[in-house]
Amino acid sequence: MTDAPTEDPIRDGLRRAPSVVVVNTGDGKGKSSAAFGVMVRALARDWRVAVVQFVKSGKWQVGEEKLGRQLGVDWLAVGDGFTWDSADLDHDKALARAGWGEARALIEAGEHQLVILDEITYLCTWGWIDTADVAATIRDRPPHVNIVVTGRDAPDALVAVADTVTEMREVKHAFQQGIRASRGIDY
């Protein structure tokens, strides 16, 4: 048992930043789910929001996309699904590069207060897109553009440009017990 804190953890001298970069990484569940929680918060503040999903294709019917679109989120599903289902990885790599080009243009345009780059870390760690370019684009973004990055094995360059990095750690997962992903919980 732990004692409840009695000291206010907020320290003097805190400042407001015009925007922040959040990275959700690690092998545990919840990286994208946490990002979509931020999406809902941003929408509640009347922010313009964009989501770029780099692995899931438009064929997926994910609940967060359905709700996001209903709420006015600019949603781009630029991937073609899981690599193990791919018939042509070269095509997938080309989609990744084109998708990153769209995401970079979206960030640089500065029309959104929040841009979620869902599962982009995979493309960086696989060498499908240039991690240095991704990190530089995030670092040099317009001052009011907040970024959330998701995916396992976030490269050091993305961690370096982030203000907040959370590593999700798997303790136990239904999949390990032979349970398939569930609508409403996992997608």
Q: How many domains does the chain have?
A: 1
The conformation of residue 4, written as its DSSP 8-state character, comes to P
| Phi and psi at residue 153, to the nearest 5° | 50, 50
CATH number at residue 62: 3.40.50.300
pLDDT, position 14: 86
Note the pLDDT tens digit of each residue in 50-74: 999 998 756 666 889 999 999 999 9
In this predicted model, what pLDDT tens digit does every residue of 95-134 receive, in sequence order? 999 999 999 999 999 999 999 999 999 999 999 999 999 9
Residue 81 pLDDT > 70, yes or no?
no
Residue 114 is assigned to a structural domain of this protein: yes
Supply the DSSP string of 99-139, one letter for each residue: HHHHHHHHHHHT--SEEEEETHHHHHHTTSS-HHHHHHHHH
The gap from C-alpha 28 to its chain's centroid, in whole angstroms, comes to 14
More confident residue, 97 or 13: 97
Asked whether residue 1 is assigned to any structural domain, the reply reads: no
Residue 64 belongs to some domain of the structure: yes
Residue 116 is part of which domain span? 21-169
